[in-house]
């Protein structure tokens, strides 16, 4: 049985080199996940893979069924979730292709079903307020940092992740505000995913891949060609990291 799941983000709709064992469709009380989960062997470890945007990358960030995805992973016995996510960089040290392991986040999303503790669904239980002081699992973050330390990859071992609503990119003024708030990177999928993982008591951490400089921080406009070219490099870096990481988990 696999205990580790990898959620693939933009640029990672499969894990090339993964020896696929089987796919399993899981139906959840919250609807359908982004697709069936793929069981396989990767870098010597049994893992489960789930592409957040679907296998054809067709689900936009605000329409992802985050609850179904996390519930499905917990249901099949997963305890640890490594989430890859494309981001724009706000901090000037973070360059396209770099990997960032955020240690904190700020949620700017709205209107997304964001909790398993809906009123009425647990009528026999008191109102639940999960602790979210440190939104990412330190144990998994430490594995990421240790794995990266034996590579020559450009990584940033902390940073505040701004979760925005999308699907549009930000304005310069919005990025200025995120910077004033202390955010180093900005992406559209980090929430409610991290909070839902915590509600289910999963060990969850993010490996962010810098796809572009955020709005107003690089070229006058952000093009999808630029994002795709940078993600190719970033995804290769993520694979190098995974080869070191998986034996540690
Ligand atoms: N903003 C939000 N999400 C993103 C970006 C960005 O600049 N790049 C990749 N995902």
Flag whether pLDDT at 1 surpasses 70.
Answer: no
CA 209 distance to own-chain centroid: 10
CATH number of the domain that 236 lies in? Answer: 3.40.50.1580
Q: Report if residue 25 sits inside a domain.
A: yes
Which residues surround ligand 1 with Cβ inside 6 Å?
86-88, 164, 169-170, 186-188, 211-212, 214
Q: Residue of the nearest CA to atom 9 in ligand 1?
A: 87
Can you give the residue range of the structural domain that contains 100? 4-112+134-248
* Residue 124 covered by a domain: no
* CB 247, CB 206: distance < 8 Å: no
- pLDDT bin (cut points 50, 70, 90) of residue 43 is confident
With beta carbons less than 8 A apart as the criterion, state whether 9 and 84 touch: yes
Tell me: pLDDT of 121 over 80.
no
Query: Hey, whose CA ends up nearest to atom 6 of ligand 1?
Result: 88
128 assigned to some structural domain: no
CA distances from residue 1 to 26, 41, 73, 179 in whole angstroms, order as listed: 16, 11, 12, 42
6-19: pLDDT as tens digits: 999 888 888 888 88
- Whether the full predicted model's pTM is greater than 0.85, yes or no, is yes
Average pLDDT, the chain: 95
Q: Identify whether 161 is part of a domain.
A: yes
Rounded to the nearest angstrom, the distance between the alpha carbon of 161 and the centre of ligand 1 is: 11
Which stretches does DSSP call E strand in 108-202?
155-156, 160-163, 185-187
End-to-end CA distance of the chain: 14
For residue 62, the model assigns a pLDDT of: 97
Decide if 120 is inside a domain. Answer: no
- Indicate whether 122 pLDDT > 60: no
Domain for residue 91, yes or no? yes
Does some domain include residue 123?
no
The domain total for the chain is 1
Q: Which residues, 6 or more positions from 77, have their beta carbon under 8 angstroms from its beta carbon? A: 1, 2, 3
| Closest approach atom of ligand 1 to CA 188 | 3
In-domain check, residue 31: yes
Question: Beta partners for 85?
Answer: 208
pLDDT in tens, 173-219: 999 999 999 999 999 999 999 999 999 999 999 999 999 999 999 99
Please report which residue ranges of 52-186 form alpha helices under DSSP H: 66-75, 138-149, 172-180
Q: Can you give the pLDDT at residue 91?
A: 98
What is the H or E stretch that residue 72 is in? helix 66-75
């Amino acid at each position: 049985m696999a205990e580790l799941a990898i959620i693939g983000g933009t640029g990672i709709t499969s894990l090339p080199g993964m020896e696929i064992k089987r796919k399993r469709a899981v139906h959840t009380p919250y609807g359908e996940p982004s697709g069936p989960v793929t069981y396989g062997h990767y870098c010597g470890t049994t893992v489960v893979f789930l592409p957040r945007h679907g296998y054809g990358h067709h689900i936009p960030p605000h329409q992802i069924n985050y609850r179904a995805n996390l519930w499905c992973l917990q249901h099949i016995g997963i305890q640890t979730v490594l989430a890859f996510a494309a981001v724009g960089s706000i901090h000037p040290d973070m360059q396209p292709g770099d990997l960032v392991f955020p240690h904190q986040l700020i949620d700017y999303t709205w209107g997304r079903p964001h909790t398993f503790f809906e009123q009425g669904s647990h009528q026999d239980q008191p109102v639940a307020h999960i602790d979210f002081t440190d939104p990412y699992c330190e144990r998994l973050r430490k594995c990421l940092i240790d794995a990266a330390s034996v590579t020559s990859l450009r990584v940033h071992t902390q940073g505040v992740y701004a979760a925005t609503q999308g699907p549009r990119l930000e304005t310069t003024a919005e990025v200025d505000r995120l910077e004033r708030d202390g955010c180093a990177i900005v992406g559209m999928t980090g929430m409610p995913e991290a909070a839902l993982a915590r509600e289910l008591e999963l060990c969850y951490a993010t490996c962010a891949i810098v796809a572009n400089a955020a709005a107003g921080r690089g070229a006058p406009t952000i093009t999808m060609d630029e994002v795709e070219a940078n993600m190719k490099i970033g995804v290769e870096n993520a694979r190098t990291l995974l080869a070191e990481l998986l034996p540690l988990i």
